[in-house]
Structure 1
Amino acid sequence: MKKILVIGDIIIDNYLIGSTERISPEAPVPVVKIDNVITNIGGAGNVVNNLLAFGTHADILSVIGDDDAFGEVESLFKKNHISSKFLFVEKGRVLTKKTRILASNQQIVRYDKEDSKEITKETSEGVFNIYKNIIVNYDIIIISDYNKGLLTKELTLKLINLANDKNIKILVDPKGSDYSKYKGAYLLTPNKKEASDIINFDINNDTLENATSVLKSKYNLTKSVITLGKDGIALFDDQLKLFPTKAKEVYDVTGAGDTVIAAIAYKLAKNLTIEEAIEFANLAAGVVVGKIGVATASLSEINAFVQNIKNKEDLKIILKKLKEENKKIVFTNGCFDILHLGHVKYLEQAKKMGDVLIIGVNSDSSVKILKGENRPINSELDRAYLLNSLKCVDYTIVFKEETPYELIKLIQPDILVKGGDYKIENIVGNDIAKSTVVIDYIEGKSTTNIINTIKQ
């Protein structure tokens, strides 16, 4: 199993969750009745939690104090199955604790307890001594800087230089105003505002390529990445590439940056390309921002999140994973305009032929070509959503072409299925699939019959 080491500031994230129905008579503020208290490991600890959720091995190297938070950290580490063997204790240090009060899924206020002074020289030497003795055991290093005093300029440069000497990629989630301490890292993951502050000009569609290029050259990065919030992630290697966000609903962006860098590291450790790693990071972040508080995204959640595949780039990522797992892929396509018993029985039979059922859904424009101007009754997104609600369906993707030939060529299914009285040699994609099967429709069960009944 690939191993990843996270170095960074540990934070305790505390959530007081409740409801509010009145304003305080003491001041014009809401009164929140607390129903639930959640305490999580945040900061670099949340990066580790994300890596563990992906099913990989991750350790953390950090500094904590000897205050009353020490026992709380150890308890949370044990609960989350995180090893505490590389925690360095600095006497008199106060660990950062952030407490948020939420009512009706909205954050009302946050109050912090912290000590952000730089670690002592003795502590820095202790941390580096641990690092140099264990670095060879890891495939990727993540620096998760929350600007809480651990990652001094001197220590950070030493961490990066040693990783480069060992030919180990080191990824940085940066903070603060001095990025020179990250010089030579494989990549940084600043958000748009952080990057804009560092390079001293506004970042927009017209300046994004220049911004990523400047960061890459100025700090001697192998790759340049800027996270763009709702607009996704930008990558600059030899040219600018944009990766749109995958989020469906955004409830809380807390910890999304932790998820992004963890996801990129996870895929790079598996020797995937940076493009594939960023695509995966977008998907993982899309899951996390749909949750309240500091959260993680498991592989099963990510797979469920992308059930309705948005584009062929997403499909390529999923296909790669399915083929790595030696899954037998079944493909079928159709309009599925008004979902009925005939469709369901047909799809249930198709799923039984393999491990994964992917459905190509005709776009609205292609349905009109096939069925006439009065069709479809339901939009392409509605049709895909209804299909995804079926237990037997794993993925759907809408295709705009008149036939699914190009889609079948991309998927290379083990089994191609069609319903009705087709002759196998006349089925589109028959020359690509390993085998082609025709399943009989249930007599009298069709969208056309349903429409005619409604008209009558």
Structure 2
Amino acid sequence: MQNLTALLEKFPSLKVLCVGDAMLDTFIYGKVERISPEAPVPVFKKTREVSMLGGVGNVAANIAALGAKVSAVARVGRDADGEKIACLMKSGGISARLAARDGVPTTAKTRIVSANTHILRIDDEEIAPPSPEELAEAKRAVSEEIADADIAVLSDYGKGFVSGELAAFVVEKAAERGIKVVVDPKGDDFSKYRGADIVKPNLKEFEAVSGAKVDPDSEGFAERIAEGAKKIFSKARIGGLVVTLGEHGMFYAKAPDARGAVCARTKRRKVYDVSGAGDTSISAMALCLAAGSTVEEAMEAANIAAGIAVTKLGTATVSMREMEAELSRTARPASEKIATAEELGRIAERLRADGLRVGFTNGCFDLLHRGHLYSLEQARRECDFLVVGVNSDDSVRRLKGAGRPVQDELTRASVLAALSCVDAVCVFGGDTALELVKTLRPDVIAKEGYELDKWPEAQFVISAGGKAVRIKRLENFSTSEIIAKMGREKK
């Protein structure tokens, strides 16, 4: 499996074309403390109101938040809500190609929320197919914007704009460019998306189209969902299905026979709001596919992104920094935390841009013991993202003498990377970590037992505006003593 962090690094070089139904999502927050004397209904006291992009706008906003370039082709009404969508797209770095139509209002959803609970949703919409003029304008915008796009996303919310003709046009233009099309579908006929590479329904939509009834908690659910997928493939010529299963993750079936189907489980989280989580997941999936990932890798990234989104209130976006932080702590195996100085330098830049503190410590870590853990945990408390530098085998031999290290550099780096308090590991070959520190430019450097005048790495960090922290040593623990003890016991 490719390193997901390496995939994230490609996002800023990518462009995504999004086509679909634009919406304005408004959240009105407040309190309910009494029942109305006029009727048996709660009295809602408004405290604040927030408007944000919904529908294809939220997909585009998530793509922009993940660092990629994005354009959105959509329809709005010629009204105040349509103007809000245009302003929100512009401020979010989205290239908006919006067709404004008289007589059809901008689709708007207003949610009333109290104590993190949705009380009511008010929809203002009119479902209407695109007029001949709108269709021509949309096709013109798609032709222009897809010219330098790396992938296309169709976000169909059933509001009428994504007609069969427009969907077919997007697929046709993508095929001419040799790029993939990913679809968030609506309705009970997926043949509308003929030629798309991935169609991504939720479980309810999948059951409605396939006729299958699937319980992810039941035995044999994978076989039942694969059978349902084959029924869809027999009617709709699409490349594959990714069925979202909520807290159970995602299921991928490839056309035509759903063989080798894959289920990607997700991490369980405390859910505050599922609004827009599907938009977040398709954004991450599309970017990974554009970056050259497999569908399985794209599903893993989509699960992570959606998992972050549901912990936020409202129609939320997920940033590159949040994805990197989540990957560094829980999503990656130890081997994927080991990186080069250049890779970590780029990650550190983005983390600092988001207001997070990058920390650094280093050592040989030949035989990991309790003293090491004590020091690493102290260093982690000083920052948001801890990078550990590990002396190479040659460096350890020069510092410690013949017979060292006991464990090779890859083993030492891998053991460190398996620790939850360590976010990244880098092997360096010098007698000091100064060159690595100059590349990383950490905000905090932490180490035990060094005076500042004999600590060149700390001097550099301080000169660059950072902080040096002397870690308290846990006595009676050392690699040298462990090796000596092993020698005495052997005799």
Same fold (TM over 0.5): yes
For 2:92 and 2:310, locate their aligned partners in 1 and report how far apart those are by CA, in whole Å. Answer: 21
Counterpart residue type for residue 156 of structure 2? D
Structure that is richer in helix per residue: 2
Is 1:345 paired with 2:375?
yes
Where do 1:365-380 residues align within 5 Å? none
Where do 1:437-456 residues align within 5 Å? 442-444=474-476
Aligned to 2:441: none
Residue among 224, 230, 240 paired with 2:261: 240
Residues 325 and 4 (structure 1), Cα distance of their counterparts in 2 relative to 1, 3 Å cut: farther
Contact residue 251 and residue 262 of structure 2 kept, 8 A: yes
Deviates more, 1:112-121 or 1:326-335: 326-335
Residues 213 and 343 (structure 1), Cα distance of their counterparts in 2 relative to 1, 3 Å cut: same
Aligned to 1:229: 246
1:84-108 deviation per Cα after TM superposition (whole angstroms, max 9, x unaligned): 3x11222222111100010011111
1:36-95 deviation per Cα after TM superposition (whole angstroms, max 9, x unaligned): 1100011000001000110000010111221332322222223323233x1122222211
1:262-293 deviation per Cα after TM superposition (whole angstroms, max 9, x unaligned): 10111112122222211111111111000011
Contact residue 391 and residue 409 of structure 2 kept, 8 A: no
For 2:87 and 2:191, locate their aligned partners in 1 and report how far apart those are by CA, in whole Å. Answer: 36
TM-score (norm 1): 0.74
Name the Cα RMSD after superposition.
Answer: 3.4
How far residue 310 of structure 1 moved from its aligned partner, in angstroms, is 5.4
Counterpart residue type for residue 298 of structure 2? A
Deviates more, 1:65-74 or 1:102-111: 65-74
Where do 1:49-448 residues align within 5 Å? 49-84=61-96, 86-204=97-215, 205=221, 206-237=223-254, 238-309=259-330, 312=333, 318-319=336-337, 322=339, 326-327=343-344, 343-345=373-375, 391=383, 394=386, 424-427=404-407, 442-444=474-476
Contact residue 5 and residue 138 of structure 1 kept, 8 A: yes
How far residue 34 of structure 1 moved from its aligned partner, in angstroms, is 1.2
For 1:249 and 1:335, locate their aligned partners in 2 and report how far apart those are by CA, in whole Å. Answer: 34
For 1:41 and 1:277, locate their aligned partners in 2 and report how far apart those are by CA, in whole Å. Answer: 24
Counterpart residue type for residue 181 of structure 2? I
TM-score (norm 2): 0.69
How far residue 430 of structure 1 moved from its aligned partner, in angstroms, is 6.2
1:348-372 deviation per Cα after TM superposition (whole angstroms, max 9, x unaligned): 6xx7xxxxxxxxxxxxxxxxxxxxx
Residues 175 and 435 (structure 1), Cα distance of their counterparts in 2 relative to 1, 3 Å cut: same
SS at 1:426 equivalent: coil
Is 1:5 paired with 2:52?
no
Residue among 38, 44, 48 paired with 2:50: 38
Residues 123 and 311 (structure 1), Cα distance of their counterparts in 2 relative to 1, 3 Å cut: closer
Deviates more, 1:55-64 or 1:299-308: 299-308
SS at 2:129 equivalent: coil
How far residue 221 of structure 1 moved from its aligned partner, in angstroms, is 2.2
For 1:413 and 1:223, locate their aligned partners in 2 and report how far apart those are by CA, in whole Å. Answer: 44
Contact residue 200 and residue 243 of structure 2 kept, 8 A: yes
1:396-428 deviation per Cα after TM superposition (whole angstroms, max 9, x unaligned): 9xxxxxxxxxxxxxxx9775999xx99634337
Contact residue 183 and residue 198 of structure 2 kept, 8 A: yes
Counterpart residue type for residue 240 of structure 2? K
Counterpart residue type for residue 383 of structure 2? K
SS at 2:111 equivalent: strand
For 1:216 and 1:325, locate their aligned partners in 2 and report how far apart those are by CA, in whole Å. Answer: 45
How far residue 183 of structure 1 moved from its aligned partner, in angstroms, is 1.2
For 1:71 and 1:22, locate their aligned partners in 2 and report how far apart those are by CA, in whole Å. Answer: 36
Counterpart residue type for residue 203 of structure 1? V
Counterpart residue type for residue 121 of structure 1? P
Residues 241 and 18 (structure 1), Cα distance of their counterparts in 2 relative to 1, 3 Å cut: same
Contact residue 247 and residue 289 of structure 1 kept, 8 A: no
For 2:213 and 2:331, locate their aligned partners in 1 and report how far apart those are by CA, in whole Å. Answer: 30
Residues 389 and 256 (structure 1), Cα distance of their counterparts in 2 relative to 1, 3 Å cut: farther
How far residue 19 of structure 1 moved from its aligned partner, in angstroms, is 1.6
Contact residue 374 and residue 474 of structure 2 kept, 8 A: no
Seq. identity, %:
31
How far residue 216 of structure 1 moved from its aligned partner, in angstroms, is 4.2
For 1:323 and 1:35, locate their aligned partners in 2 and report how far apart those are by CA, in whole Å. Answer: 48
How far residue 323 of structure 1 moved from its aligned partner, in angstroms, is 5.3
Equivalenced residue count is 382
How far residue 334 of structure 1 moved from its aligned partner, in angstroms, is 5.7
Counterpart residue type for residue 198 of structure 1? V
For 1:79 and 1:392, locate their aligned partners in 2 and report how far apart those are by CA, in whole Å. Answer: 28
Residues 29 and 265 (structure 1), Cα distance of their counterparts in 2 relative to 1, 3 Å cut: same
SS at 1:266 equivalent: helix
